[in-house]
A and B are shown apart, each in its own frame.
Chain A
Amino acid sequence: MIETLGVLSPIPGISGREDAVREAVLDRVAPYVDEASVDSMGNLDCVKRSKNGHGEKVMVCAHMDEVGLMVAQIDSNGLLKCRTVGGIDPRVLTAQRVRVGQDNIPGVIGMKPIHLSKPEERTKNPKIQDLSVDVGGSSKEETEKWIKVGDGATFDTKFEPVGDLVKGKAFDDRMGCAVLVELLKEAFPFELHGVFTVQEEVGLRGAKVAGYRINPRVCVTLEGTICDDLPDDKDRGRTTRLGDGAVITLRDRSVVCDRRLVSVLMKVAERDEIPFQWKRPLAGGTDAGSVHLSREGIPSCVVSTPCRYIHSPASMASPEDAEAVVRLVRNSLEELCSVAGEIDGRSNWKT
């Protein structure tokens, strides 16, 4: 699974331009799934028919898009003025290298050298309007030969092991994608829809249309989630901790996970001795936020791998945590599906 992550992580794929990621995912899953289709937004739906003809649909989703930049203007000096796609703190952009446009040409987000900066400038943080991407063009005309307004730019980060962990860009949510690819290798007694969604980072958008179209019995969202476990002198707790296992969400800003589904996850984790941790409540939002409000409501839950430094050039994660997520979700899916079946409030009128 880490090998899959190693393939998916470096691929450029900002929200709206997930094509290359989708291609790579298809290459990995083609041998294992019965059908695959792409909808008008670019969501990839990989279907595994149930091994016993069971008709219930289970949707497991992970998003293919990453945060990055988009070229808004090419200025008269040939430098690129960019805007962020998804949430990026401009402070992580300064002095970073990126890959721009269809041909992935290298660019640098330069920073005025310290020698030339005034003291008061050194204490101020840059805004995105203050930063430019330099691809080496000497004029607007020259740069326009290689880059167009609207082109995307992503961090230029190599995927590699670092200590006991792995490092790369876009673990949010190529990590989730890698877990989903792994899950699609299994057989299940229901119809599994492994949905690789688009445009999560700009508002949980792809999942909204995928959830509506598929209308599953239950939805499990896989994320590469916030791990902010730097030293905690004030005993304030952390969103998640690396090494503590699969992360189960109780509720975040976008969804209150169905408690009955959360109970199943916890029960399975304890029964199968899978390390797990609770995500700090109300941190972040995920595709489940869109799916659970689809039509008459879809019971949803979220299981994530903790990843340090998401939404910055280089994330780090533990392969063991990721394996825990795969095991937990694989071992829970069947019961999640049947519990969701009991919740279904679509036609149980009582007089």
Chain B
Amino acid sequence: MMTPDNLLKELCAAHGPSGFESNVADLVERLAAPYVDELRRDALGNLIARKKGQREGASIMMAAHMDEIGFLVSGRKESFLQVAAVGGLDPRVLPGQEVWVHGREKLKGIVASLPPHVLSQEDRGKVAQIHQLYVDVGLGEEALSEKVRVGDPVTMAVESVSMKGGCMSGKSMDDRAGLACMLLALSRLAAMKHPWDVYAVATVQEEVGLKGAQVSAFGVEPTVAIAIDVAHGNMPGTDEGDTVDFRKGPAIAFGPNISPVVCERLTATADKHGIPWQREAVPGRSGTDAWSMQVVRSGIPTAIVGLPLRYMHTAVEMIHLKTVERAARLLASFSAELGEEALQWVGLSPVDLEARRRGEKDD
């Protein structure tokens, strides 16, 4: 398995906005193949990798999403393209951005912006909405209509770059970083014994409603599901209550979306192996695959391992590489060390009413 930075570079170089993840799935499949027993794609395109454990009875599902935010071509006006957003894009970060238009060929484009010289004072203060933007690929009308159709995906054209301080910046760290963790965890598990089956699911369409995770969890029916996704790292202009520390390691979430027993085992595992971690309060909707997995069928105990990320949903997302390593070690150790107790996590726990009536309590 590659080093975290090379792995991330390769994953981020793949292009796959929500609904168009097959390129990314092909890459992840190739990277995961040496470490797993089975690989399949489901109806929506989720890539489900399974590494068999020693016995049956329980299973662990890790989920990291393949899709990135981007656009779809929504129209053409003269020799310019119009686009619609896929996922949560802030229009303010778009003018001047370089993109790839994935039409009949891969075409480089620029999100057009008018220079300040020709803008009125009033217009300079406004934010152009996405439907008001144009993408310029440098072709004439006829060539353009031959090569690009409504519905063609458009992604940011950014190569990842290594920074000082052990950081890396690029597009789609959300959630290629999560995929990297999952792949690194699988490579570690290859050399470890683990009782239960481990599923690593590269999910689709997280950015547009946590959809891939929902249907893949319905199919896999795991005992426990852990989402690995990015979390907001502290940066200027944000409130302390909304972010976690950028460098203090994976953020383990606490809140209604997280099962207390799973969380306890995760934190205990981290402490046991000296893996630095931090607490993240998630008071409601987590905005991760865990939210949809938790309420599939009769319920699945879920947890979230968050990777602190700065400048989320821009072309300059930044991550601390140590976070990726730490999270990978945590996931591998958790999966390997989860024992008999997992069997109790499945299904219902009966209450001893007799004892209660006698005045004793369940513990």
Contacting A23 at CB < 8 Å: which of B258, B285, B361? B361
Closest 6 CB pairs of A and B: A150-B254, A16-B256, A209-B299, A81-B241, A72-B241, A213-B298
CA distance A129 to B356 in the complex (A): 43
Complex CA gap A12/B281 in Å reads: 18
> Smallest distance from the beta carbon of B137 to chain A beta carbons, Å?
42
Most buried by B among A30, A38, A44: A30
* Chain A residues closer than 8 Å to B300, beta-carbon distance: 40
Q: Within 8 Å CB of B297, what residues of A?
A: 209, 212-213
Chain B 128-140, CB within 8 Å of chain A: the 1/0 string? 0000000000000
Q: Kindly state whether residue B78 has any CB partner on chain A within 8 Å.
A: no
Q: How far is the CA of A77 from the CA of B332 in the complex (A)?
A: 38
Q: Tell me, yes or no, whether B190 is within 8 Å of chain A by CB.
A: no
A75 within 8 A of B: yes
Known: A40-B298, A81-B240, A129-B239. 4 other contacts (CB 8 A): A40-B346, A70-B255, A205-B256, A208-B295
Chain A contacts for B281, CB-based, 8 A = 70-73, 83, 149-150
Question: For this complex, into which size category does the number of interface residues on chain A fall?
Answer: 35 or more
Partner of A40, one of B345, B356, B361: B345
A346 to chain B, nearest CB (A): 18
Known: A208-B295, A212-B297. A82 touches B241 (CB 8 A): yes
Closest to B299 in A: A209
In the complex, the chain B residue whose C-beta lies closest to that of A214 is B298
Contact B256 A39 (CB under 8 A): no
In the complex, the answer to whether A72 meets B283 with C-beta atoms within 8 Å is yes
Q: Taking A72-B281, A212-B297 as contacts, is the C-beta distance between A39 and B348 under 8 angstroms?
A: yes
- Enumerate chain B residues within 8 angstroms of A31, measured Cβ to Cβ: 357
Q: Are B348 and A85 in contact (CB under 8 A)?
A: no
- Shortest A174–chain B CB gap in Å is 18
Among the listed B256, B257, B279, B356, which residue makes an inter-chain contact with A148, where contact means beta carbons less than 8 Å apart?
A: B279
Closest to B261 in A: A40
Q: Does A15 contact B (CB under 8 A)?
A: yes
Q: Is the CB of A202 within 8 A of B256?
A: yes
- For B256, the closest partner residue in chain A by CB is A16
Residue of B nearest to A30 (CB): B356
Q: How far is the CA of A148 from the CA of B264 in the complex (A)?
A: 14
A-B contact pairs, 18 of them (CB 8 A): A15-B284, A16-B257, A33-B353, A36-B353, A40-B298, A40-B346, A41-B295, A44-B351, A70-B255, A72-B240, A72-B283, A83-B241, A86-B284, A149-B280, A202-B256, A202-B283, A208-B295, A209-B299
B356 touches A85 (CB 8 A): no
Chain A residues with CB under 8 Å of chain B are: 15-16, 23, 26-27, 30-31, 33, 35-41, 44-45, 65, 69-73, 75, 81-86, 129, 148-150, 198-199, 202-203, 205, 208-209, 212-213
Interface membership of B349, Cβ < 8 A: yes
Q: Which residues of chain A are within 8 angstroms of B26 by Cβ–Cβ distance? A: none
Given A37-B349, A40-B300, the answer on whether A85 and B361 have CB atoms closer than 8 Å is no
B255 near A81 (CB under 8 angstroms)?
A: no
Closest to A87 in B: B284
Q: How many A-B residue pairs have CB under 8 A?
A: 112
CB distance from B281 to the nearest CB of A (A): 4
Rounded to whole angstroms, the CA-CA distance of A215 and B132 in the bound complex is 49
With both chains docked as a complex, state the minimum distance between the C-beta of B231 and any C-beta of chain A, in angstroms. 12
Contact residue among B242, B284, B351, B361 (Cβ-Cβ distance under 8 Å from A202): B284
| Chain A, Cβ-Cβ closest to B361 | A23
**A-side contacts of B258, CB under 8 Å:** 16
- Within B238-278, the residues touching A (CB, 8 Å) are 239-242, 254-259
Q: Which of B255, B301, B350 has the most CB of A within 10 A?
A: B255
Contacts of B279 in A (CB 8 A): 148-150
Q: How far is the CA of A15 from the CA of B255 in the complex (A)?
A: 8
Q: Is the beta-carbon distance between B357 and A40 smaller than 8 angstroms? A: no
Residues on B with C-beta less than 8 A from A205 are: 256, 294-295
The answer, among A37, A45, A85, A129, for a CB contact under 8 Å with B256, is A85
Which residues of B in the span 278-320 have a Cβ within 8 Å of any Cβ on A? 279-281, 283-285, 294-295, 297-301
Other-chain contact of B301, A40, A199, A212 (Cβ < 8 Å) = A40
CA distance A74 to B361 in the complex (A): 35
Q: Which residues of B contact A129 (CB under 8 A)?
A: 239, 241-242
Interface contact B298-A212, CB-CB below 8 Å: yes
The answer for the CA separation of A30 and B283 in the assembled complex, in Å, is 32
On chain A, the residues within 8 Å of B361 by CB distance are 23
A75 lies within 8 A of B255 (CB): no
A35–B350 CB distance below 8 A: yes
Do A85 and B351 touch across chains, with their CB atoms under 8 A apart? no
When C-beta atoms are compared, the residue in chain A nearest to B251 turns out to be A149
Name the A residues within 8 Å of B242 (CB-CB).
Answer: 72, 129
Contacts of A75 in B (CB 8 A): 240
B240–A41 contact, CB under 8 A? no
- Contact flags B158-195 to A (C-beta < 8 A → 1, else 0): 00000000000000000000000000000000000000
CA A27 – CA B359 in complex, angstroms? 9
Q: For A65, what are the chain B residues with a Cβ–Cβ distance below 8 Å?
A: 256
Residues of B within 8 A of A23 (CB): 361
Report which residue of A33, A72, A129, A198 has the largest number of chain B beta carbons within 10 angstroms of its beta carbon: A72
Which of chain A's residues have a CB closer than 8 A to the CB of B255? 16, 70, 85, 150
Given A150-B255, A205-B256: A39 touches B283 (CB 8 Å cut-off): no
Tell me, rounded to whole Å, the shortest Cβ–Cβ distance linking B328 to chain A.
24
Q: Restricting to B308-363, which residues have a CB under 8 Å from any CB of A? A: 345-351, 353, 356-357, 361-362
Q: What is the CA–CA distance of A81 and B356 in the complex, to the nearest angstrom? A: 39
CA distance A81 to B256 in the complex (A): 18
Q: Which of B254, B295, B349 contacts A209 (CB 8 A)?
A: B295
List chain B residues, Cβ under 8 A from A70: 254-255, 281, 283
Q: Are B239 and A81 in contact (CB under 8 A)?
A: yes
